[in-house]
Amino acid sequence: MEKEYDFSRGKRGPIRSNKGKTRITIYLDDDVIDAYRKKGDKLGKGYQTLINEALQDSLRRASAPISASALRKILREELEKAL
């Protein structure tokens, strides 16, 4: 350690920038939080990171184009209902 430190160019605020992230308050069920905390402990990740990844995955799946085989399956099911 040094005897003196120069803080003349120091800035107030967080050490790291959180660009692309926003702090919010959200209410989740206790069992959901407990499950993600346990999963995070096993994987060595934070539970908030895991919840964020799950939400991102959900958005990717919701916006993914439907495959030809899935479309055929849906059409078959709907045609069976109509007949």
Alpha carbon separation from 9 to 5, 6, 12 (Å, rounded): 11, 8, 10
pLDDT value of residue 53: 95
Which tens digit of pLDDT belongs to each residue from 15-52? 777 788 888 999 999 999 999 999 999 999 999 999 99
**Tell me, what's the pLDDT at 28?**
95
Which pLDDT belongs to residue 36?
A: 96
pLDDT reported for residue 72? 92
pTM metric for this prediction:
0.59
Residue in the structure block whose two tokens are 């849906």? 74
| pLDDT for the residue 47 | 96
